[in-house]
Structure 1
Amino acid sequence: MAIDLDLGGRVALVTGSTQGIGHAVAVRLAEAGAAVVVNGRDGSRVEAAAKQVRDAVPDATVSGVVADLTAAQDVDDLLLQVPSSRTR
């Protein structure tokens, strides 16, 4: 059973999204209309994954942020780079 989600106006940060299940989730969220932020530890893999999501969903808003989530400073930097979709 397919679930029809409208995630327009939302931002989805998908960690570990340069391959496998995380990458598949990033594509599905982009298809549902979310602005997707791809994350991984290797810059070339992050850029390649972001390009693959853009290729799969041409009208998607996709960005990539390199961060090792085991490093506190990287987490802080990541959070500063991820746009907020919160409404007031």
Structure 2
Amino acid sequence: MAETKTMKEKVALVTGAGMGIGLACAEAFARAGYITVLSDISPTLKL
């Protein structure tokens, strides 16, 4: 994800972040500098 001026001091809430597309999105937001909040329904996943 390319960093732009509009991505500074932003928060991303990612549901379904335990695996697959949700996890990939969460990782991309975190790498881009977002404050990233993760959520997933599975109690056994270790994020």
The TM tier, using the shorter chain, reads: 0.7 to 0.9
- Report the structure, 1 or 2, having the larger helix content: 1
TM-score with structure 2 length normalisation?
0.75
Q: Paired residues, what number?
A: 46
Amino acid at match of 2:26: A
Q: Give unpaired runs (5+ residues) of structure 2.
A: none
- Counterpart of 1:24? 24
Whichever of the two has the greater Rg, that structure is 1
1:41 aligns with 2:31: no
Larger RCO, structures 1/2 (Cα 8 Å, 6+ apart): 2
Q: Percent identity?
A: 33
TM-score with structure 1 length normalisation?
0.45
- Report the structure, 1 or 2, having the larger strand content: 2
RMSD (Å), alpha carbons: 1.8
